[in-house]
Amino acid sequence: MQMPSGNKIIGHLYYLHMHLEIYISSKTLTEGLCGSFDDNTANDLIDKNTRQQSRPDRQGRIDTEVAKSWR
């Protein structure tokens, strides 16, 4: 699927899983749970409301409240 912004999503549905490829046309205009897509890890996993950074725990899980803030 090609969006008017130039972003593109390609999906492959398999028997037990799905594979998505996401292509972003403009890094500077992208912001979300995983940061600002600017290759700066210091702004990844930022709560949308408090703007505070969260770090994954030892199992790689993130605070669910951080994820919920971006819904």
Instruction: List Cα–Cα distances, 71 to 19, 35, 62, 64, in angstroms.
Output: 22, 14, 15, 11
pTM, to two decimals: 0.41
pLDDT in tens, 41-54: 777 777 777 677 77
Task: Give residue-wise pLDDT tens across range 7-62.
Answer: 788 999 898 898 988 887 766 666 776 667 677 777 777 777 767 777 767 777 76
Instruction: Report the pLDDT value the prediction gives residue 28, as an integer from 0 to 100.
Output: 62
